[in-house]
A = this chain, B = another copy of it.
Amino acid sequence: MAVAEIVITPLGTGSPSLSAYVAKVHKVLEESGLKYQLTPMGTIVEGDVDKIFEVTRKMHEVLFKEGIQRVVTSLRVDDRRDKQLTMEGKVRAVMEKLK
């Protein structure tokens, strides 16, 4: 189990609005079974590392089918093996130290 951030950026779209593209990519995520959270700067997922790579690969492909010619996809995987990382646990660990 790992926690990861995925950011899919279509380039050259002709408009500075990207939310419609983000929504299209999100449908792949909904069907993936991965736990996820949409943030103002990307999407955070939690789950099996192989699955995270596989789902990111699929998300990367979505916008080419919509006619986009260039996509930059960023994946950042935080993987810890001595202890199980979860989205909720990572935030809680910091919050506890902030008290």
Q: Considering only CB atoms, which chain B residue lies closest to A70 in the complex?
A: B16
Alpha-carbon distance A91/B26, docked complex (angstroms): 12
Do B16 and A14 touch (CB < 8 A)?
no
Stoichiometry, as copies per complex, reads 4
Nearest-neighbour CB distance to chain B for A70, whole angstroms, equals 4
Do B69 and A80 touch (CB < 8 A)?
yes
Nearest-neighbour CB distance to chain B for A66, whole angstroms, equals 12
Q: Is A31 an interface residue (CB 8 A)?
A: no
Do B41 and A69 touch (CB < 8 A)?
no
Chain B residues, CB < 8 A from A56: 53
Do A23 and B77 touch (CB < 8 A)?
no
Do B3 and A40 touch (CB < 8 A)?
yes
Name which of A44, A56, A96, A98 has the most chain B CB atoms within 10 A of its CB.
A98
Q: Considering only CB atoms, which chain B residue lies closest to A39 in the complex?
A: B39
